Structure 1
Amino acid sequence: MTEFENDSALFSTLKTELFTAVIGDVLDQMGLTRQFLPAEIAPLVPGTKIAGRAMPVLEADIFDNGHPASNGPLANKPFGLMLEALDDLRENEIYIATGASLRYALWGELMSTRALHLKAAGAILDGYVRDAQGIRDLGFPAFCRGIYAQDQGPRGKVIDFRCTIEIGGVKIAPGTLLFGDEEGVLAIPREAEAEAITRALEKVKSENIVADAIKGGMSATEAFATYGVM
């Protein structure tokens, strides 16, 4: 198994030597066939890569913010626990949120500014972002379903964080390894990450050999029969 000195070395290897397609193929071979988040979740800036540990955030829609008859503990708290969740981000963590409808944005420029100060690795939203140009100018890695300016304030709240969530049938626990590029976002279970990354690095080397063989005139059929990679 490939060993890394620390998580920073692991994340660097993911972003410089690997890509989601090859890790996804390896996870399929390991029987982990549902680890990609929905294809609609893509980088705000094409070509962006993201790698880090999940800090899951659970959202919920609201329809009558602060109604006097409400008994909920978050009824009169703007944004619910969103600010607490944001401030709790740690170095190399990814703020990953789900649970809301597509009626409003879940992330913006000021949140990105705070996350950068905390040395977070980025944000992955099962929804929209706003202040898109500001986020781009900051160079903050954000993956989302698109851009929409409508504010979360009167429409949604964060109701929990550092909890297990699910996006598109993919379970994400606190600390789950997340890796994304312009072709998708993967959640790699902690118990599988060492084997998956080791095998992915080996697969990249094999694919480079196959590419050279095909460039030299070998047929696709012969290449697959010889190397077992395509």
Structure 2
Amino acid sequence: MSDGSEMSATGAGRRAVRTRFLAVDTSNVADVLDERGLPHQALHPGIGPLSGERLAGWAYTIEEESVGYSGTGDPAKMRACGEIGQDEVSVWSGGGEGICYFGELIALGMAERGSVGALLDAGARDVRWLREHGFPVFARYRTPIQSIGRWRVTGWQRPVRLPGATTPWVQVRPCDFVLADADGALIVPAEQVEPVLTRAEELTEVEARIRTALGEGSTLAECLERFGHV
């Protein structure tokens, strides 16, 4: 792993980090990334939830290309899917249009290996069943059109690019952290995971105190004076 952090080096540590990230919002994490001089980590707003409300996990990257070919399958895709691990989110690049990169059976196979979701700069299908299984998928579109003969995997577990919200591209590396919710999706660089998470938890606690104070009758101006801006 590229950050060398003890808190994320082991399987138990990675799971603990993921659990903590599930308790914070992308908005707070984005604010922390701004504080740390990383203002361009959010993905394009066209990437949103097809199933599940929250997505959190360590990035397992897969890159592809749209190209016609003959045959009945994509062996490279099967190898890539078979190597994903615990608490990892598959991140699919490639900028596909109109075809499905990901569906129910791939999700089930990855879930058996401990994967906790998928993030796609492309499309998914079997949305009903993905929801039934409770497998989180954030994607750019939905489509019933299969990929066989139209698209194939060219590599995995190397840096990829996905379209950004404030910049044309956001780089995603293996073991960066993926967080997505109703506000959108963003990427936390692996070496920033520990400080970003700790600070986001602090902001989350401050927001909770402000909500409590507002509920007890304080004005917003009084709360901001007391707790600061968040």
Q: Does 1:137 align with 2:132?
A: yes
1:13 pairs with one of 12, 20, 32: 20
Match of 2:44 among 25, 29, 38: 38
Q: In the alignment, is the contact (CA less than 8 A) between 2:123 and 2:142 conserved in 1?
A: yes
Is 1:103 aligned to residue 98 of structure 2? yes
**Identity, % of aligned pairs?**
25
Q: Aligned equivalents of 1:32 and 1:223: distance in 2?
A: 28
Give the secondary-structure state (helix, strand or coil) at the position aligned to 1:6. helix
TM superposition shift of 1:201: 0.8
The one-character-per-residue Cα deviations of 1:20-54 (angstroms, maximum 9, x if unpaired) are 111111111111111111112112135x2221111
Which residue number in structure 1 is paired with residue 62 of structure 2?
A: 57
1:94 aligns with 2:100: no
Structure 1: runs of 5 or more not aligned: 67-75
Structure 1 contact 126–144 (Cα < 8 Å) conserved: yes
Normalised TM-score (structure 1): 0.87
Partner in structure 2 of residue 226 of structure 1: 226
Superposed displacement of residue 202, structure 1: 0.9
In the alignment, which residue of structure 2 is the partner of 1:123?
118
How much has 1:80 moved relative to structure 2? 5.8
The amino acid across from 2:60 in the alignment is M
Does the residue aligned with 1:143 lie in a helix, a strand or coil?
Answer: strand
Stretches of structure 2 that go unaligned for 5 or more consecutive residues are 1-6, 164-168
2:166 equivalent in structure 1: none
Q: Could you say which residue in structure 1 is the equivalent of 2:162?
A: 167
Instruction: Give the CA deviation at 1:77.
Output: 8.2
TM-score w.r.t. structure 2 length? 0.87
Correspondence for 1:73? none
Deviations 1:99-131 (A, max 9, x none): 132120110111011011111111111111011
| Aligned counterpart, 1:71 | none
Give me the whole-angstrom Cα distance separating, in 2, the residues matched to 1:45 and 1:87. Answer: 22
In 1: Cα distance, 2:59 partner to 2:40 partner = 17
**Distance of 1:150 and 1:215 partners within structure 2:** 50
Moved over 6 A (4+): none
Amino acid of the residue matched to residue 167 of structure 1?
A: L
The equivalent residue for 2:3 is none
CA contact (8 A) 1:100 1:156 kept: no
CA–CA distance in structure 1, aligned partners of residues 114 and 177 of structure 2: 17
The Cα shift of 1:206 comes to: 1.1
State which of 22, 25, 28 in structure 2 corresponds to 1:22.
Answer: 28
Tell me, in whole angstroms, the C-alpha distance in 2 between the residues paired with 1:120 and 1:101: 22
Contact preservation (8 Å) 1:206, 1:229: no
Q: How many residues align?
A: 218
Q: How much is the aligned-residue C-alpha RMSD, in angstroms?
A: 2.2
